[in-house]
Structure formats: structure tokens, C-alpha cells
Amino acid sequence: MTQEAATSSAPKKNKKVSVSDLALLKSEGKEKISVLTAYDYSTALICDRAGVDVLLVGDSAGMVVLGHPSTVPVNMQEMLMFCGAVSRGAKRAMIIGDMPFGSYQPSTSMAIENAVQFIKGGCDAVKLEGGAEIADKVKAIVDAGVPVMGHIGLKPQTSSLWEGYRLQGRTAESAQRLVQDAQALEKAGVFSIVLEMVASEVAEVITRKVSVPTIGIGSGPECDGQVLVLHDLLGIYEDIKPKFVKRYAELAKPILDAVSSYTRDVKAGKFPDEQNTFHMNPEELEKFQGKGKKK
């Protein structure tokens, strides 16, 4: 084993990834933080085995799993169900629950109560969208003992309502506001900040200015880590194909082909065949058919 490998800051294979592990990855700067979304037990198991550092149970589940046109309709009950499934599948990755729209905006007390529900439901932390305007709620949740990940730049919960899905930080003025938002969140106690669709030059400045790890999505290579929606990465979700997504697989077509083949086999009576069929013991079959010896 080389000295570099022996002193690697990467979280150990079987050790639960913690906030301090992520902080160490940023401070040492030797390797980036890998983050993916997950919404169910089976995919959480696979992502965990693959060595993903953080699994974000995103409210994007509302779109890729529940079929909503945006993340806005997702509610607490649905998010807690997804979080419970992921927490039962992933043992090493840190699990972060996305607080849905309406679960923290009305009041600080509601924000704390709902954040605690995520922790009781199996999460290690929660994520809130917003900058300086929600810093007081972030601080209150952190003070209540719940780790918080921030989220600035494009904010899907509200962008669809106000300005659409557009690149953030395109002007000097908007770029400076993003820096101020990141600093406000850092001061409020977040352990990390997601930067979504932020101009790469701005994301690089923010990453240098804050002491907590930045996790980019469509914000360039200089962030401390990257996150993608698993269904985008795998090429399963086809309704939207963001420019920032790299497709590591195109699984929609092979899944379609497999399901189509199954349907044809069933309709033609080709499935199940002998290798997929169970039989009675011959003697018991004789008795069942009334052909056995009479007592």
C-alpha cells in the first residue's frame, strides 16, 4: 500500500459517511464528493455498493417516480416514505432528506418539527432550498440538532413559479447575491451547499470563499462534489434532458425491449416454460387425480 493510499481522506468502505468526513474531503482537497439521488430500497443498495458518498432523497421523486410536472406537489408523507426505503437499503452513504415545498416556509417551529421527522425516518440530515431569506430557519434546525445542507442557485421548488429554469449568476449583481447567500448559509451552520445551475465562474468563487463543501449540479467542475438525479444518469427518465447531465447509460430502450419481449411471450403462451414451472410429487399427483391405490 502506498503512503498516499494509507493516508487517503476517503470515507472507509464499511464506515458510515459523516459530516466530518465530507469536511475533511474539502479541506484536504484530494478527492471530490460523489452524490446521487435515490428513492427506493433497491437502488439505494446498488448506489451504496458502488461507493457513493451521499444519497439525496430528493423531491425530484415527485417528477421521476410520481409523475408530477414539477417538485412542488410532493408532500411530507411521500418524502418520509421514500426516505425510509432508502435508509433501509444504504448503510454506508450519508442519507439526506429533501424538505418539500411548504414543509419549512410557513414557520420556524414547523421547519424544526418536520426536519426532526426526517431524522426519525432514517435520514442523517435534511436539505432546504434558499439563501439568506431562510438562514434563520436553517440556524434553528441546526440548533435543534439536525444537520442541514443548503441549496442555492436554481431552486426548483420556486423557480417554476417565478422565473423558470434558467442559469443563475449570469450578471455581476446576481453573482454577488449568490456569494452572499452562500455565506449566510455558512454562518447559519450548514455543513454543505448545493449549487444548482450556477455559472461555473461563480461556483468556483463560492467554493473558495466558504469553508463547507459545495456540491454542484450544472455548476461546473470546481465544486467540491457533484450530484445527479439517478434516473437521468441511467437514461431512464426521458421527459427532461438537462444539458448538464452526462448519461452513463441509456436504459430506457433495453427496459422497453425486455418488457415488450415478456408481453409477447405471455400472449403467445411461451412464458412460463418448463424451467419456470413447479410440479407435484408424482405419487401425490396420482392421489390428487384419484388414480392412486385404494386403501
186 annotated among ligand-binding-site residues: no
Name 149's Cβ contacts closer than 8 Å, sequence gap at least 6. 96, 125, 126, 127, 128, 190, 191, 192, 193, 194, 215
- 3-state secondary structure at position 10: coil
127 annotated among ligand-binding-site residues: yes
60 annotated among ligand-binding-site residues: yes
Nearest Cα neighbor of 101 from 66, 133, 130, 142 is 130
129 annotated among ligand-binding-site residues: yes
- Of the CA atoms within 13 Å of residue 215, those in its CB half-sphere come to 25
User: How far from the centroid of its chain's Cα atoms is residue 154's Cα?
Assistant: 16
Residue labelled with grid coordinates 449566510: 184
286 annotated among ligand-binding-site residues: no
Give me the long-range contacts of 199-202 (CB less than 8 A, separation at least 24). Answer: 199/167, 199/168, 199/169, 199/170, 199/175, 201/169, 201/175, 202/168, 202/169, 202/175, 202/178
Write the CA distances from 228 to 174, 184, 210, 232, 242, integer angstroms. 24, 25, 22, 7, 10
Is 196 catalytic? The answer is yes
Catalytic residue among 163, 196, 201, 284: 196
Residues 271/262, Cβ–Cβ less than 8 Å? yes
All three cell numbers of 175, joined, read 453573482
Binding-site residues for Mg(2+), please? 59, 98, 129
Q: Which residues are catalytic, by number?
A: 196
Binding-site residues for 3-methyl-2-oxobutanoate, please? 59-60, 98, 127
